[in-house]
Amino acid sequence: MSRPPVLTFTDKGIYCPAGDFYIDPWRPVNRALITHGHADHARPGMGSYLATHLALPVIRYRLGDINADGIRYGEKRTIGSAQVSFHPAGHVPGSAQIRVEVAGEVWVASGDYKVVDDGLSDPFEPVKCHHFITESTFGLPVFRWPDQAEVAAELNAWWRGCAATGKTAFLGAYSLGKAQRLMALLDQDIGPILTHTAVENTNAVLRGQDIPLADTVHVTPDLNPKDYPGALVLSPPSAQGSAWARRFGAQETAFASGWMALRGIRRRRAGDRGFVISDHADWAGLLWAISETEAENIYVTHGYTDIFMRYLNENGWNAEVVPTQFNSDMTETEDGG
């Protein structure tokens, strides 16, 4: 009689029968292993949580009083008859791929990942396995990311131009990961970096972990924009164009995302500028990561799943699409690219 797969795909999430736990479940379960702190992966209502020590502070900040335990990258832990370990995913600080081994069979659930070292997150670490669960948020050949230094030069030239014409530069960025990555690329000699509360609260959590971040000024109700000429304001995309933003007067808006590689989406965003930078792997990055695992069996989740699966099957892998409830769209989701 054959044993059940190491990981199965259920209506609650990715489940390990041998360990009786779920990975990034989207419905309440007794035991959840969490890849990172974005809201589509770390949800409330679980009996217990296990995440990396680096990811836990943000998860606790967002979810409140939870029963949670931390684990180091590479540390092996036995749960039931499964051996688990967490490995860097490079997506945001503390993000992890979760390796699960049962009776010599190895699966890796990668969560969200990028293969470019951003200098902020622990760099992506390929993990050898038999079965690999991959996202495909940007699983089309059109998505190929420019060099970070090139994006930094474009960002700073735009900001410098705004400052020279007396405009406030508004840059839309998700509060966990993208905002801090952009802060590292910005030239603070141009002017001060101001932050929306959602961004600044996340900054405070990360600074509490001794993660070095650029100096920022929190935009409070009593802040006078006139005291900060030449400023750049980092805010969630949803704050752009709001009453909160209009208090700054003359301004230009921009959005930083992998989706900015598509002209139609840039136009729909209605911002003045779009910068191509993502916390997910591009087409080449996805293929490199999958190749490095040496896995024969690939399970494709959220994104361009059918197209990416078809390419993999035509090029030597055994690939199938599996349903999940993780975000991969370009709307006002927290981790929109």
Decide: 257 and 194 in contact? Cβ < 8 Å.
Answer: no
**What number of other Cβ atoms are within 10 A of residue 326's Cβ?**
20
Decide: 333 and 326 in contact? Cβ < 8 Å.
Answer: no
Q: Which residues constitute the domain of residue 238?
A: 148-275
Question: Residue 331: inside a domain, yes or no?
Answer: no
Neighbouring-strand partners of residue 82? 79
Whole-angstrom distance, CA of residue 153 vs CA of residue 275 = 11
Decide: 166 and 251 in contact? Cβ < 8 Å.
Answer: no
Question: Residue 215: inside a domain, yes or no?
Answer: yes
Asked which of 275, 310, 329 is the last residue of a domain, the reply is: 275
Tally helices (H) and strands (E) across the chain.
8, 19
Does residue 293 share a domain with residue 267?
Answer: no
- Calculate ∠ Cα 304-108-336, nearest 5°: 35
Counting the structural domains of the chain, the total is 2
**DSSP string across 136-148:** ETT-STT--PPPH
Whole-angstrom distance, CA of residue 202 vs CA of residue 313 = 40
Question: Residue 37: inside a domain, yes or no?
Answer: yes
Does residue 291 share a domain with residue 260?
Answer: no
Does residue 270 share a domain with residue 285?
Answer: no
Question: Residue 3: inside a domain, yes or no?
Answer: no
Q: Are strands 131-136 and 297-303 parallel, antiparallel or unpaired?
A: parallel
Question: Residue 335: inside a domain, yes or no?
Answer: no
- Three-state secondary structure along 30-45? CEEECCCCCCCCCCCC
Per-residue pLDDT tens digits of the chain, which is 337 residues long: 567 799 999 999 999 999 999 999 999 999 999 999 999 999 999 999 999 999 999 999 999 999 999 999 999 999 999 999 999 999 999 999 999 999 999 999 999 999 999 999 999 999 999 999 999 999 999 999 999 999 999 999 999 999 999 999 999 999 999 999 999 999 999 999 999 999 999 999 999 999 999 999 999 999 999 999 999 999 999 898 899 999 999 999 999 999 999 875 555 555 789 999 999 999 999 999 999 999 999 999 999 999 999 999 999 999 999 988 887 554 444 555 7
Helices of type H across the chain: 56-63, 148-164, 178-185, 197-207, 243-246, 263-269, 283-293, 305-314
Decide: 187 and 230 in contact? Cβ < 8 Å.
Answer: no
Give the pair of three-digit tokens for residue 210: 């001794």
